[in-house]
Amino acid sequence: MKLSKIFEEKPKQWGFRGDPYFWNHLKGLAENMDMISPDELEDWIKKEYRSLSGKALTNEYGDFAVIKQFAHGGMSSGGVDNEWWMNEGIPLLKSRLTKL
């Protein structure tokens, strides 16, 4: 089973407009990855975020990155919301991984 399994069902709500694109980016990479531990998953997501944005993914309130490849129009175009990923996205994915 590949890691991409945990990305199949998308969340109903996102932080910024770039969040679904970052999700899809991670899913695409995960199609070639075997399952990993929940802690390894969090580390991997943070490394991918840093490689794309040049910033750390932290839960500092209000922090975000604009990733140009995810910019497709709108006020928060390309914006990836740290708070959403730390409080919603990563916990959701870790929970799904643990259930598998």
Report the DSSP beta bridge partners of residue 81.
Answer: 64
Q: Domains of the chain: which residue ranges?
A: 14-99
Once rounded to an integer, what is the mean pLDDT over residues 2-19? 95
Once rounded to an integer, what is the mean pLDDT over residues 27-50? 97
**Cβ-based neighbours of 26, under 8 Å, separated by 6 or more:** 7, 45, 48
Task: List, for residues 57-86, the tens digit of each pLDDT value.
Answer: 998 767 888 888 898 776 668 889 999 999
pTM for the structure as a whole: 0.92
Cβ-based neighbour number of residue 12 at 10 Å: 5
Q: Is the dihedral of CA 28, 14, 63, 38 positive or negative?
A: negative
Across the chain, mean pLDDT equals: 92
Looking at the predicted structure, is the pLDDT value of residue 27 above 90?
Answer: yes
Here the tokens at position 97 are 């991984």
| Ordered DSSP codes for 9-53 | SPPS--SSTTHHHHHHHHHHHHTT-B---HHHHHHHHHHHHHHHH
Once rounded to an integer, what is the mean pLDDT over residues 4-12? 97
Once rounded to an integer, what is the mean pLDDT over residues 31-39? 97
If phi over 0 gives left and psi between -120 and 50 gives alpha, with beta otherwise, what is residue 78?
A: left
Looking at the predicted structure, is the pLDDT value of residue 34 above 80?
Answer: yes
Residue 49: predicted pLDDT: 96
